[in-house]
Copies of this chain bind each other. A is one copy, B any other.
Amino acid sequence: MNIEQRAIDDKLATIFKVLSDPHRISILRILHENGHEMTCGEVGERLNLAKSTVSYHFKALRKAGLTNTRQVSQTKLLSINETTFEQYLPHFFDVL
């Protein structure tokens, strides 16, 4: 097996690992359904999770390039990173 293929498999695996938690899937669905940016707090309330836990998941999603973050004063607005989904997960939201 060659190096490039191995790199692709690693990259995909890391993206799928981020998607392997039900709460993170829920976060993405909520963001998608809402159709606009949401705060960490809003999402946390919907999922009934401690804010530290939500922050942990947000970090994972951001790090994998699945979401964008925009800082507005003391709050942080989350949104879907369409580019990543088009490139690596086409039709993801169709299935959702």
A25 interface residue per 8 A CB criterion: yes
Q: Which positions 3-21 of chain A face chain B at CB distance < 8 Å?
A: 5-6, 8-10, 12-14, 16-17, 19-21
Q: Point out the residues of chain B lying under 8 angstroms from A25, CB to CB.
A: 9, 12-13, 16
Question: Separation in Å of the A89 CB from the closest CB of chain B?
Answer: 8
Interface size on A, residues (CB 8 A): 31
A13 to B44, alpha carbons, bound, how many Å? 19
Mask, A1-41, CB within 8 Å of B = 1, is 10001101110111011011111111001100000000000
Contact digits for A53-96, partner B, Cβ 8 Å, 1 yes 0 no: 00000000000000000000000000000000001111100111
In Å, the complex CA distance between A6 and B21 comes to 12
Say yes or no for A47: interface residue by CB 8 A criterion.
Answer: yes
In the bound assembly, the distance between CA atoms of A1 and B20 in angstroms comes to 19
